[in-house]
Amino acid sequence: MMADIIKKELQNNINLYYIQDEKYKTLSMSLFLHRQLSSDEATKNALLSKVLRRGTKKHPDINALNMYAEELYGTLYDVSITKKAYAQSIVCTVNVLEDLYTDESIVPEGIALMLDLVFAPYLPGGAFDKNYVESEKQNLKDDIEGLVNDKRSYANFRCIEEMCKGEDNAVFEFGYIKDLASIDEKVLYEHYKNIITTSPIDIFIVGSTDIDTAAHTIKNYLSNFEFNIKPLAHCRSKKVDVKEVSFVSDSFDVAQGKLALGLRTGISAEDVGYYALLLGNSIFGAGAHSRLFNTVREQMSLCYYASSRLDKFRSIMLISSGIEFENFEKAKDEILKQLKNIENGDFSDNEFEVSRDFVINSYLSYKDSPYMMKDYYLGHCFSSNHDTIDEAIEKLKNVKREDIPKAMSSIQLDTVYFLKGKE
């Protein structure tokens, strides 16, 4: 049975969140080290996440780490980078078997591994291993360059990049190739020393364990460090009045065009109309029941795919579609027409109810995945909306049909991006 999330403040700006759920065989733990989104340090943070997973003081290389993880009943671990709201976060995740499935508890060892990966890295000669850093610089370069290989993701990224030019939201979470040359093992270590004790930390545990014991273990470990944590600036999204729509295009040797539309919604997760906006977006473009799928894609055959999603922290709607080059104007106009129809209340009661069921079921599905639950409740760290999953569902149930046009009426088209073929 799942209980409400429990929050424990371990130190100033270091918090532990516990979501009890007994249906899992593993205890999933994630430590998030948050940094304000910044193009100046995005590359360093992304590279650091890769280097940290290469080894710890106790287990100085991948082989040693993997052997130790196997000894812990096949424990899984990883360190990665993520972007959410106004933060770029280094996240370390460790999944260990619950006590019920082991001869003796390995939870303390799992907690220690998670903390060691972040706070006790392998530091030969007082800095990061030169070979590790150079190897991971190449891997990061490949990751950054690889974005363009997925044209759908690339088009979405470019649309947001152009739309949010001058805003921190335009920062790419993997950083930039141009910055890699200036980073070596010493530069990276100096950056690490600077951020490790000054960044807000949120730790999430999903599963079934003695949370008081876990909290004590983590708190005791962290007592060896002197923290001077600076909270991130809470960048609540501001309503943007779009003066002029931007049109941007790139040319590639591709057989199919990618159309991405960036829109300002004027509504964030902190606003009263958010859940109505969520349902409106569902009617419009989220799922196989939506107007974009049924009308624009199936009936009119203007798109190979078409969908919309909301960024609840940035008050942004992103519409993504794959089209024939010659259908650019037709597809764009029809997509915007369907959006206007929803705004005008031109949708059936059945569409409303089906969309509500779809969104509610999406929220319920969060409970089936420790990753999804951690991701959902991580949002509480960046917003004043602290609705639990069940509370969000109740608010969705209370949305009235007439609430949707009101919420959708604030949406403004900001940027049109078209990835087209070479002439």
Q: What is the pLDDT along the chain (423 residues), one digit of tens a residue?
A: 445 799 999 999 999 999 999 888 999 999 999 999 999 999 999 999 999 999 999 999 999 999 999 999 999 999 999 999 999 999 999 999 998 888 889 999 999 999 999 999 999 999 999 999 999 999 999 999 999 999 999 999 999 999 999 899 999 999 999 999 999 999 999 999 999 999 999 999 999 999 999 999 999 999 999 999 989 887 656 667 788 999 999 999 999 999 999 999 999 999 999 999 999 999 999 999 999 999 999 999 999 999 999 999 999 999 999 999 999 999 999 999 999 999 999 999 999 999 999 999 999 999 999 999 999 999 999 998 999 999 999 999 999 999 999 999 999 999 999 999 987
Distance CA 384, CA 313 (A): 10
Distance CA 263, CA 163 (A): 9
Report the pLDDT value the prediction gives residue 101, as an integer from 0 to 100: 87
Report the pLDDT value the prediction gives residue 379, as an integer from 0 to 100: 93
Q: In terms of DSSP bridges, do strands 412-421 and 257-264 run parallel, antiparallel, or are they unpaired?
A: antiparallel
Report the pLDDT value the prediction gives residue 243, as an integer from 0 to 100: 86
First to last CA, the chain: 59
Provide CB contacts within 8 A for 156, sequence distance 6+: 260, 318, 320
Q: How many CA atoms lie within 13 A of 261 on its CB side?
A: 25
Q: Which two tokens stand for residue 115?
A: 């903390």
Distance CA 320, CA 331 (A): 11
Q: Which two tokens stand for residue 18?
A: 């516990």
Provide CB contacts within 8 A for 234, sequence distance 6+: 86, 382
Report the pLDDT value the prediction gives residue 230, as an integer from 0 to 100: 87
Distance CA 237, CA 316 (A): 9
Provide CB contacts within 8 A for 49, sequence distance 6+: 79, 80, 81, 90, 91
Identify the bridge partners of residue 306 per DSSP, sorted by sequence position.
321
Report the pLDDT value the prediction gives residue 1, as an integer from 0 to 100: 41
What is the H or E stretch that residue 83 is in?
strand 76-84
The pTM assigned to this predicted structure is 0.95
Report the pLDDT value the prediction gives residue 237, as an integer from 0 to 100: 61
Distance CA 150, CA 246 (A): 23
Residues 360-389 as b/e (b if ≥16 CB within 10 A, e otherwise) read bebbeebbeebebbbebbbbbbbbebebbb
Domains within the chain, CATH numbers bracketed:
6-222 (3.30.830.10), 246-421 (3.30.830.10)
Q: Which two tokens stand for residue 312?
A: 């609840």
Report the pLDDT value the prediction gives residue 13, as an integer from 0 to 100: 96
Instruction: Give backbone dihedrals phi and psi of 83, rounded to 5 degrees, phi first.
Output: -125, 125
